[in-house]
Amino acid sequence: MLSQYQILFYFEGEGLVILELKRNDMPEGSDLSEIFHWLYLEKQSQSLIKLWFRSLDSSADIEERFFEQGYLKFNMREATFIEKYNSAQHKLIKHEVSVVSEEIHDMIKNYLKQP
């Protein structure tokens, strides 16, 4: 049986986690914004927030994602998330999606239950 979602990217830093997931439970013809979700997890408060995707840029070495809340730049090993208005910068390490904790999976499942 196909899982409800698949994690595509997983980045972790000292105080936060950013990940992209693809929903596998959406009907055919669904809008891409309903299928792909970028999520920001603030570790201390355990708050899971959707990053509102605006655009992307991609080259052989660097990927960039632009969100309403900030900007993510990453390569095969690391990432930097710059909050809107440059209010903070976060260094992140890119991890294999297989190491995502069960606690984070539970938070994602609860997030997906929301209307």
The answer to whether 107 and 97 have CB atoms below 8 angstroms apart is no
Encode pLDDT of 22-58 as tens digits: 999 999 999 999 999 999 999 999 999 999 999 999 9
63: left (phi over 0), alpha (psi -120 to 50) or beta: beta
Q: How many domains is the chain partitioned into structurally? A: 1
CA distances to 36, 75, 78, 97 from 57, in Å: 16, 12, 16, 22
* The pLDDT of residue 1 is above 80: no
Tell me the whole-structure pTM to 2 decimals: 0.91
* The pLDDT of residue 63 is above 50: yes
Domain range holding 32? 5-113
Q: Is 85 helix (H, G, I), strand (E, B) or coil?
A: helix
